[in-house]
Amino acid sequence: MREEIEKALDVLKRGGLILYPTDTVWGIGCDAANAAAVQKIYTLKKRDDSKALICLVNNYGMLEKHVDNVPKMAYTILDIAVNPTTIIYDAPAGIAENLVANDNTLAIRIVDHEFCKKLIRYLGRPLVSTSANFAGKPTPKSFKEIDEAILKGVDYVVNLQKETIAKNPSTIIKLGSDGGVKIIRE
């Protein structure tokens, strides 16, 4: 695993894209603070850049560093969540502007996956995570279902867990500044 982290980290630091396993599905990722790398993901996925991407962090400390005011409800939701859960937060900070949605929000998940946690820790910043498919196409359930053009479009494919069948994408919840909770994806 150490060698894979080093290779992926090198690519991320140079502004490249990686394809990597997560606690949900295979993801296309980049340094969340690198706007040019984020744009590469939108281009590769043929995705409208008005559709926000998810970021992964490795712990509450990193979450709090990139969200001005984490609502108390977020901690409650994350503590009781059975499945990987992404929360949309207001007023993100310290990430590329083209990751921030038009309403000044960002979707963030505290990842529970050993490779991802270590990679994020060494990178020192959030990692973009979006499913390894073209916009509008089904999310691959395994590595072998990933389109060849996606495989060729990234700078590095992490050589771990290629035989693992993916879980479902994360639940996405939006927390309103008024305290409201809205489930976007179950």
Backbone angles phi, psi at 114, to 5 degrees: -55, -50
Q: Looking at the 3D structure of the chain, how many domains does it have?
A: 1
User: What's the burial of 50, exposed, middle or buried (CB within 10 Å: 0-12/13-18/19+)?
Assistant: exposed
CATH number at residue 91: 3.90.870.10
- Closest residue by Cα to residue 20 from 118, 106, 124: 118
Residue that is written with structure tokens 């691959």 in the block: 140
61: left (phi over 0), alpha (psi -120 to 50) or beta: alpha
Q: What is the CB-side half-sphere exposure of residue 87 using CA atoms within 13 A? A: 28
> Would you give per-residue pLDDT tens digits along the chain (186 residues)?
899 999 999 999 999 999 999 999 999 999 999 999 999 999 999 988 778 899 999 999 999 999 988 999 999 999 999 899 999 999 999 999 999 999 999 999 999 999 999 999 999 999 999 999 999 999 998 899 999 999 999 999 999 887 776 677 888 999 876 777 888 877
Domain that holds residue 176: 2-185
Kind of pairing, strands 105-110 and 181-185?
Answer: unpaired
Q: How far apart are CA 99 and CA 76, in angstroms?
A: 25
Contact 145, 25 (CB under 8 A): no
